[in-house]
């Protein structure tokens, strides 16, 4: 390590801004020299002002602890000497540096002469796979003790150790990677040049590239493992003479390796029979039976016996990871033959090495793009997949990824990098796999069909099957929105901007070709920017005038014959102008390419890449025009078209959607007809003990699928209690003040249970927010309160926070009704705030109801009720995830007992005892639980 002296600083303060009068209340420093900690310093500071209560709570530093301490001015000289001519390191450098410089200036000292390093920024580069970069998250990932978060001495200490870990990681990086990061470092917050230079000099004596890496241009990738293996040794092999099923000892022999679960055995037999008879099947497998292994075992055997892979499709990536990382390794241990699995994702999930090679060298002063490039350089030294899901890019890095992701133009067939291509490697793995794991959306696209057919797959398992029809509707539909159009227009830019248009114009000039057409293109693009903004602003205004709900953020408006009025016709005319401008621009682009044809053979690879990007962008805009035209001018039978706007966002934040009304019919024609056997499975496929609704919804009526419902082995009568309070106000609408008051009252009561972990499920974000604010105003609310979309960031971050607290309440909507697991004590109470009926004015819902009415059916019975029951069952399923779990379900919607349809929901409940207490009886129940479980 170089001889530079590093001083890690952390400060605790009374607030966020020294210019607004906030002061330091604690400062700590850790000095690092020659890779060793040589000095520590920590001191409380008297701010000469009260410490706010929330700062006391956060840091544990009280007014009493600082009242007899010195002010900062008394130690200012020591701090100045400590830092001057050293490198100032902090976790979020702007915060700590800002306070220290401000206080030093007030004490009469000049500017600090020191470099700065931000450990948040460096951690993002050095550890690009980490989920988060807060001190607590980094210390957890690196297995460092962090005894007192939000105390300066503890924070400075752990920051110093994190920095030393980062130095160790940087030392391991190949020389070309260090040099590439060094070239980017001028655009970073950190003054990392001296540090990187010392590491480069240290490495330069060993000029050979370390084993296990391959140099590509000016960067390095991890050398791929050989994926071309002998098929008879490791790949799928066909056994015709002996049934592998029997050779493996049959089902009973395999079953002995697993926990004895009757339901799992039933499922294995049913899946095997469906495959063997070339039938489709629906299997409802309740929580606790071991559903995943229930289909993986027969799938693996079937693949080996037939020599063809079985494709397994899920709705969530979480389940994909569970199958790949937990269930398949478990299953492989018990088979007397090897079983291979591969994940199948869309092209855009994979990095294109050739594109990155070109884009890395572009001059780019966009901070997020530079940071993302540095992260990718490090990530490429250890990734085997090149899959976007592995890397934690900054929010602005998504634009860069769009440019470097694999697409149909990524390679010419003879390109020398082709064998290193991540997408090609994924395809090769899929060809050799016994089981291909994918997702519903990709499975229903042309790209997936093309890739799956290359390996002759004809047998499928659809897990989380209750989502399959909805995903099909989205895939068979279309969408046009302002953001995606604007993003492409920005990528092109105008001749005054640094975009593709300017670079393409320079290319034409350098090739000696007339660039006059670019002035026309520039003019058309300027008009397109203006026209697209005006059009989507008009769309936004059109919806807002017709749905003037000030309390809602997302507003939806279904387009229909009743729209034939003057205002709608103006929108149609705007769409016509926009489409015409997009097509005219593409025609001009085609003329440009014709002029370029004779010169294109002499272009360098970098020039050819620029033209590919330009062409790709222009083709995308043409396709956008076609989508917009379909939405406004092609009235497709049995298709619903609607507009969504962000009512409280930008005035052009609008999207137009179209979906088939009956995706099931399309699934029947385009999917089920083409497959030998498809097994659909989920924990919720049955309504009133019948598969009829799901069979009809999925388009399976003419296929007469096999059906099997497997009950849960859980002892619900001992492990779950269901409560439906008697004295809660009736529901009139989402914003009924009495109802919101009662929901808040019951949540507060349930939160009083010692170490309670309560999940409250809502059907509306607006109602969730109203309840959240009602509870937030309660000064004596007994625990942490989290709310999706209001506090804590993304649903994943909110869930992580909730799991980390010992006593908390989480308010959630759609995301938390299914697909989330809280095992053991992570969830003690589940609250259903309202029965999960979809809003009757939702475009798809209302269109399906209208169609049911035309057919002489009851829209409520045919559409609304079964969908609500399935969602209700998913919600209830969050509470017990294993045989050891236990807890209470509280349903705050009295309609389950008072309405004519309530019995359907009651039948959907697990076989657990049901009580209908008053508020006072519920209070007594919570008190009783607290007596049973004292602190």
Residues 259-301 have pLDDT tens digits of: 667 899 999 999 999 999 999 999 999 988 999 999 999 999 9
Are 792 and 927 within one domain? Answer: yes
Are 482 and 426 within one domain? Answer: no
Alpha-carbon span 874 to 867, nearest angstrom: 11
Query: According to the annotation, is 207 in a ligand binding site?
Result: no
Helix/strand/coil for 284: strand
Query: According to the annotation, is 289 in a ligand binding site?
Result: yes
Give a yes or no: residue 549 inside a domain.
yes
State the average pLDDT over residues 826-830. Answer: 93
Are 821 and 885 within one domain? Answer: yes
pTM (predicted TM-score): 0.89
Digit-coded pLDDT (tens) for 738-788: 899 999 999 999 999 999 999 999 998 889 999 999 999 888 899 999 999
Residue 162 pLDDT grade (very low, low, confident, very high; cuts 50, 70, 90): very high
pLDDT at 284: 97
Are 849 and 920 within one domain? Answer: yes
Query: According to the annotation, is 286 in a ligand binding site?
Result: yes
Give a yes or no: residue 605 inside a domain.
yes
Are 723 and 626 within one domain? Answer: no
Domain range for 201 is 174-184+191-227+309-457
Domain boundary among 399, 423, 457: 457
User: In sequence order, what are the residues at sequence separation of 6 or more whose Cβ sits closer than 8 angstroms to the Cβ of residue 187?
Assistant: 364, 365, 367, 370
Q: How far is CA 700 from CA 383, 562, 704, 824, in A?
A: 41, 34, 7, 38
With tokens 């591969």, the residue in question is 342
85: domain CATH number is 3.30.420.10
Residue 411 pLDDT grade (very low, low, confident, very high; cuts 50, 70, 90): low
Residue 637 pLDDT grade (very low, low, confident, very high; cuts 50, 70, 90): confident
Are 74 and 117 within one domain? Answer: yes
State the average pLDDT over residues 909-931. Answer: 92
780: domain CATH number is 3.40.50.300
Domain boundary among 663, 697, 727: 663
Digit-coded pLDDT (tens) for 448-470: 555 555 567 899 999 999 999 99
Digit-coded pLDDT (tens) for 548-565: 676 567 788 898 877 768
Query: According to the annotation, is 287 in a ligand binding site?
Result: yes
Are 204 and 98 within one domain? Answer: no
pLDDT at 734 over 70: no
State the average pLDDT over residues 575-588. Answer: 96
Query: According to the annotation, is 502 in a ligand binding site?
Result: no
Percent over 90 (pLDDT), the chain: 67
pLDDT at 733: 62
Domain boundary among 407, 426, 457: 457
Are 160 and 208 within one domain? Answer: no
Query: According to the annotation, is 448 in a ligand binding site?
Result: no
State the average pLDDT over residues 824-843. Answer: 90
206-220, 273-287, 385-399: segment of lowest average pLDDT: 206-220
pLDDT at 234 over 80: no
CB 535 within 8 A of CB 580: no
**Residue 773 burial (CB count, 10 A):** 13
Give a yes or no: residue 343 inside a domain.
yes
pLDDT at 230: 44
> How many residues belong to the chain?
935
Residue 825 pLDDT grade (very low, low, confident, very high; cuts 50, 70, 90): confident
Give a yes or no: residue 164 inside a domain.
yes
pLDDT at 227: 46
pLDDT at 414: 47
Residue 246 pLDDT grade (very low, low, confident, very high; cuts 50, 70, 90): low
Query: According to the annotation, is 285 in a ligand binding site?
Result: yes
Are 223 and 168 within one domain? Answer: no
Give a yes or no: residue 705 inside a domain.
no
Are 483 and 599 within one domain? Answer: yes
pLDDT at 223 over 70: yes
196-200, 514-518, 688-692: segment of lowest average pLDDT: 514-518
pLDDT at 498 over 90: no
Element housing 250 (H / E) = helix 250-255
Query: According to the annotation, is 828 in a ligand binding site?
Result: no
pLDDT at 240: 45
pLDDT at 797: 82
Alpha-carbon span 222 to 219, nearest angstrom: 10
Give a yes or no: residue 871 inside a domain.
yes
Give pairs for 259-266: CB < 8 Å, separation 24+: 259/290, 261/289, 261/290, 261/713, 262/713, 263/288, 263/289, 263/290, 263/294, 263/710, 263/711, 263/712, 263/713, 264/289, 264/290, 264/291, 264/293, 264/294, 266/708, 266/710
Helix/strand/coil for 274: helix
Give a yes or no: residue 679 inside a domain.
no
Give a yes or no: residue 347 inside a domain.
yes
Are 533 and 551 within one domain? Answer: yes
pLDDT at 2: 64
Indicate the number of domains in the chain: 4
Are 180 and 165 within one domain? Answer: no
């Amino acid at each position: 390590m170089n001889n530079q002296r590093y001083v890690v600083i952390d400060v605790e303060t009374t607030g966020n801004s020294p210019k607004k009068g906030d002061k330091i209340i604690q400062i700590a420093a850790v000095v690092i020299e020659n890779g060793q900690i040589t000095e520590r310093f920590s001191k409380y500071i008297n701010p000469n002002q009260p410490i706010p209560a929330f700062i006391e709570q956060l840091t544990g530093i009280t007014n009493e602890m600082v009242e007899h301490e010195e002010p900062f001015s008394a130690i200012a000289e020591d701090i100045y000497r400590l830092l001057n001519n050293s490198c100032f390191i902090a976790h979020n450098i702007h915060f700590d540096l800002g306070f220290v410089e401000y206080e030093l200036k007030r004490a009469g000292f000049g500017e600090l002469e020191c470099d700065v390093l931000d450990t948040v920024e460096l951690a993002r580069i050095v550890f690009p796979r980490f989920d988060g970069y807060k001190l607590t998250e980094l210390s957890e990932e690196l297995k460092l003790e962090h005894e007192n978060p939000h105390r300066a001495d503890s924070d400075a200490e752990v920051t110093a150790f994190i920095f030393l870990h980062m130095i160790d990681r940087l030392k391991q990086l190949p020389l070309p990677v260090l040099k590439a990061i060094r070239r980017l470092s001028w655009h970073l917050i950190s003054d990392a040049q001296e540090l990187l230079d010392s590491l480069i000099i240290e490495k330069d004596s060993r000029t050979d590239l370390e084993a296990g890496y391959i140099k590509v241009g000016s960067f390095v990738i991890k050398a791929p493992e050989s994926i071309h293996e002998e098929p008879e040794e490791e790949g799928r092999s066909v056994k015709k003479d002996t049934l592998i099923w029997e050779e493996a000892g049959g089902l009973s022999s395999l079953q002995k390796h697993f926990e004895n679960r009757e339901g799992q055995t039933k499922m294995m037999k049913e899946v095997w029979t469906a495959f063997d008879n070339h039938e489709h099947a629906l299997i409802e497998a309740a929580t606790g039976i071991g559903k995943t292994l229930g289909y993986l075992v027969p799938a693996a055997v079937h693949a080996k016996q037939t020599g063809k892979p079985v494709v397994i499709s899920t709705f969530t990536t979480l389940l994909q990871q569970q199958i790949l990382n937990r269930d398949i390794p478990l299953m492989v241990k018990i088979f007397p033959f090897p079983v291979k699995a591969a994940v199948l994702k869309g092209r855009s999930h994979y990095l294109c090495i050739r594109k990155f090679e070109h884009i890395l060298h572009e001059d780019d002063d966009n901070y997020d793009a530079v940071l993302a490039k540095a992260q990718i350089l490090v990530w490429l030294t250890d990734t085997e997949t090149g899959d976007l899901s592995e890397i934690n890019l900054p929010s602005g890095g998504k634009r860069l990824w769009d440019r470097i992701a694999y697409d149909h133009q990524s390679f010419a067939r003879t390109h020398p990098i082709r064998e290193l291509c991540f997408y090609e490697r994924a395809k090769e793995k899929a060809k050799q796999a016994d089981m291909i794991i994918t997702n519903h959306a990709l499975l229903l696209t042309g790209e997936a069909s093309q890739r799956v057919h290359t390996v002759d797959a004809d047998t499928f398992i659809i897990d989380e099957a209750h989502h399959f029809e909805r995903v099909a509707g989205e895939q068979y539909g279309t969408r046009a929105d302002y953001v995606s159009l604007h993003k492409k227009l920005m990528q092109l830019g105008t001749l005054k901007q640094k975009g593709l248009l300017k670079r393409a114009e320079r290319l034409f000039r350098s090739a000696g070709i007339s660039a006059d057409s670019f002035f026309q293109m520039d003019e058309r693009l300027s008009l397109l920017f203006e026209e697209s903004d005006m059009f989507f602003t008009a769309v936004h205004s059109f919806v807002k005038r017709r749905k003037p709900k000030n309390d809602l953020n997302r507003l939806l408006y279904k387009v229909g014959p009743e729209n034939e009025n003057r205002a709608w016709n103006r929108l149609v005319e705007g769409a016509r102008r926009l489409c015409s401008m997009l097509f005219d621009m593409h025609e001009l682009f085609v003329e440009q390419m014709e002029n370029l044809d004779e010169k294109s053979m002499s272009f360098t690879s970098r020039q050819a890449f620029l033209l590919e990007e330009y062409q790709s962008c222009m083709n995308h805009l043409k396709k956008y025009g076609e989508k917009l035209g379909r939405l406004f001018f092609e009235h497709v039978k049995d298709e619903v078209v609607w507009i969504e706007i962000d009512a409280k966002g930008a005035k052009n934040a609008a999207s137009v959607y179209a979906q088939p009304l009956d995706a099931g019919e399309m699934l029947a024609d385009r999917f089920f007809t083409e497959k030998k056997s498809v097994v659909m499975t989920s924990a919720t496929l049955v309504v009133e003990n019948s598969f009829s609704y799901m069979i009809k919804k999925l388009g399976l009526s003419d296929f007469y699928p096999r059906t099997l419902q497997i009950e849960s082995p859980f002892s619900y009568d001992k492990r779950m209690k269901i409560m439906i309070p008697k004295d809660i106000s009736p529901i009139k609408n989402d914003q009924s003040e009495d109802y919101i008051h009662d929901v808040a009252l019951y949540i507060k009561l349930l939160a009083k249970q010692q170490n309670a972990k309560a999940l409250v499920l809502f059907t509306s974000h607006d109602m969730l927010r109203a309840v959240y604010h009602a509870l937030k105003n309660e000064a004596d609310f007994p625990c942490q309160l989290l709310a999706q979309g209001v506090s804590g960031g993304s649903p994943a971050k909110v869930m992580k926070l909730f799991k980390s607290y010992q006593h908390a309440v989480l308010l959630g909507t759609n995301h938390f009704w299914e697909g989330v697991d809280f095992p053991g004590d992570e969830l003690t109470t589940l609250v259903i705030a309202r029965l999960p009926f979809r809003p009757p004015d939702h475009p798809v819902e209302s269109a399906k109801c209208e169609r049911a009415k035309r057919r002489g059916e009851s829209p409520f019975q045919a559409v609304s009720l079964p969908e609500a029951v399935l969602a209700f069952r998913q919600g209830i399923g969050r509470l017990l995830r294993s045989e050891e779990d236990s807890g209470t379900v509280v349903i705050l919607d009295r309609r389950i007992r008072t309405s004519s349809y309530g019995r359907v929901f009651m039948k959907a409940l697990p076989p657990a005892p049901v009580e209908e207490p008053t508020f006072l009886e519920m209070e007594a129940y919570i008190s009783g639980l607290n007596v049973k479980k004292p602190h």
